[in-house]
Structure 1
Amino acid sequence: MNTQKIFTQVLVLFFIIVVGFFIRKKGIIDKKMNKGLTELILNVTLPFMIIASFNFPFSKDMLLNAGKLLLISALVHLSLVFASKYIFIKYPKEVKSVLRFSMIFSNCGFMGYPVVESVYGKEGVFYTAIFNISFNILIWTVGVMLFSPEKEDKNYKKALINPGILSVLIGLLVFMLSINIPEPLYKTLEMVGSTTTPLSMIIIGSMLADVNVKEIFGSSTTYVITFVRLIAIPIVTYLILKFLGYSGIFLGIPVLIMAMPAAANTALFAERYNADTNLASRCVFVTTLMSTFTIPLIMLLL
């Protein structure tokens, strides 16, 4: 990979995060607007970007590659579910649920897509959308179970029917049937979808502006999850896949997605199920902040 290009792209993303931080501090956007922009991304711009990324002529090789990445994704995520159970076994329940969630689920949407796109282009978005199918299913089943073990609280409908999954299904239909999307419609998908990256980074910056920095760095627990999430997981993923003989996208995309910070949903789920919301916010803040330094380092492995 072009090391200079990698650092430049991550630096651009970091600068956009800084923009989001300052415009929130200046009151240009508020919490309500932040929530609205988040909904806009999750329900409109990101699905548009995903569908546009599937606008390739059908290729059996690409389909086989997608299937292989989906299998890798399922194995990686399920391994994290298993490992997290024992790594954080000594922590109290309300703390353990936050730490396990942060370990299993990375910010593969807001940060994953932009970073992968900066390295692999539109084809990378295509494969990342496939890779993230496991994430979307597990976060609404295993993810909910971590905070609320009662069976009735697991939302299987949301796991299978959400904009992320639906856009992948539509995209797969376009790809497998070689549907020629009319240029005006494709340009609309592409232009709206292209706003995902800057909007996502601005929202992350805005989220960081809400956290009381003085309270963040006093807890050793925050440092533990930061090390596990940003360094241990991507390096172990890299070593295992490398040992198994994987290279190219089969190595790069899983490692990059695993190098992302804790999912923003960590704080949302903690609040909904009365877990440690303060710890959840700290996990999201610190891992997001530190990822701007660790992601370029992880990229050097590739």
Structure 2
Amino acid sequence: MNNIIFNQITVLFLIMIVGYIAKKRNIINSAVNKGFTELLLNITLPFMIVASFNFKFSRTMLVNAKNLFIISIVIYMVFIYIGGILYNRYDIGTKRVLWFITVFSNCGFMGYPIIESIYGKTGVFYTAIFNIPFNVLIWTVGVSIFTGEKDLKAFKKVLFNPGIISVAIGLIIFMFSIKLPQPIYKTLDIIGSMTTPISMLLVGAMLADVEIKDVFSGISIYYGVFVRLILIPLIVLFVLKWIGYNDMFLAIPVLIMAMPAAANTAIFAEKYNGDTSVASRSVFLSTILSGITIPLIMFLL
């Protein structure tokens, strides 16, 4: 089982390398990158989520999903608070970036593919529930971290976020045991299966935009990356283990929290006048190092 998981994670990182090379050779340019991102966020990922809810209603699955949802809310609330006090020694620009990456992992571009590669559609089902708070908080708390203000307009983005809409549709299908016609389900499934290769190609392409020589400077980034990749998943692992969680219901929260910095950290920093250099370097360094830390976390699980 460990060899299978290791091989699956290795494949994902090899696809990332292909994306990196393709961007360096300008096969994936800025226009293609933007198009892939829109395709992923608005079509392939929502389709994969909806397809993953195509189960006959089960009270056990509903209770498990509810428990994961509650765990997710508690985890985010705790680390929003902790992130606000961990980086007070740094300048405000650096603090905002490190606070953001402490709270928000790359649960979309990398989280879903890795969970699907290990646990299949059942894993995607539970991960979609677990990620609901992420989709809400990143457009509210995430914006506030960079601006220092509450953005009421962000709630509109939350309500019409494709991730939230796809989960809502999926829940209706699951709750009422709606049997999707085979052509519709196969369409959702086939297009949804494109999420994994596209997402990893995108991550690789994003990494290609960072100047390697600048990545490894600055102790503050190493501190933030250590918190993101090691400290947070270990805390979640030991607390949930102590409570009594195991198997998939332990692995999903731990692995989602073990993902590198959210891919849109740099986008938020650019949009809300944050430190884009620290943001880009944090994403790059955490993503590269996650190739080592994720298998280690899997070993602990």
- The residue identity in structure 1 corresponding to 2:277 is N
The correspondence of residues 9-158 of structure 1 with structure 2, limited to 5 A, is 9-152=8-151, 155-158=154-157
Could you tell me which runs of 5 or more consecutive residues in structure 1 were left unpaired when the two chains were aligned.
Answer: none
Distance 1:152 1:70, change over 3 A: closer
- The residue identity in structure 2 corresponding to 1:39 is E
Q: Distance in 1 between matches of 2:160 and 2:26?
A: 35
Q: CA deviation at 1:93?
A: 1.4
Any idea what SS the aligned residue of 1:300 has? helix
The correspondence of residues 199-238 of structure 1 with structure 2, limited to 5 A, is 199-238=198-237
Q: CA deviation at 1:250?
A: 2.0
- The residue identity in structure 2 corresponding to 1:166 is I
Q: Deviations over 1:164-187 (max 9, x none)?
A: 000000000000111110000100
Q: Percent identity?
A: 57
Q: Distance in 2 between matches of 1:78 and 1:194?
A: 32
Q: Distance in 2 between matches of 1:199 and 1:8?
A: 19
Contact 1:140 1:154 survives alignment (8 Å)? no
Contact 2:144 2:151 survives alignment (8 Å)? no
Q: CA deviation at 1:299?
A: 0.4
- The residue identity in structure 1 corresponding to 2:219 is S
Paired residues, what number? 301
Q: CA deviation at 1:249?
A: 2.2
Could you tell me which runs of 5 or more consecutive residues in structure 2 were left unpaired when the two chains were aligned.
Answer: none
Contact 2:56 2:177 survives alignment (8 Å)? yes
- The residue identity in structure 1 corresponding to 2:183 is P
- The residue identity in structure 2 corresponding to 1:190 is D
Q: Deviations over 1:160-207 (max 9, x none)?
A: 320000000000000011111000010000000000000000011111
Q: Distance in 1 between matches of 2:127 and 2:16?
A: 22
Distance 1:54 1:169, change over 3 A: same
Contact 2:221 2:282 survives alignment (8 Å)? yes
Contact 1:128 1:253 survives alignment (8 Å)? yes
Contact 1:145 1:154 survives alignment (8 Å)? no
- The residue identity in structure 2 corresponding to 1:151 is K
The correspondence of residues 150-229 of structure 1 with structure 2, limited to 5 A, is 150-152=149-151, 155-229=154-228
Q: Distance in 2 between matches of 1:147 and 1:154?
A: 15
Q: CA deviation at 1:118?
A: 1.2
Does 2:286 align with 1:287?
yes
Q: CA deviation at 1:149?
A: 2.1
TM-score normalized with structure 1 length: 0.98
Q: What RMSD over aligned residues (CA atoms) do the two structures have, in Å?
A: 0.9
Q: Distance in 1 between matches of 2:53 and 2:110?
A: 20
TM-score normalized with structure 2 length: 0.98
Q: Distance in 2 between matches of 1:184 and 1:248?
A: 33
Q: CA deviation at 1:152?
A: 4.0
Any idea what SS the aligned residue of 2:244 has? coil
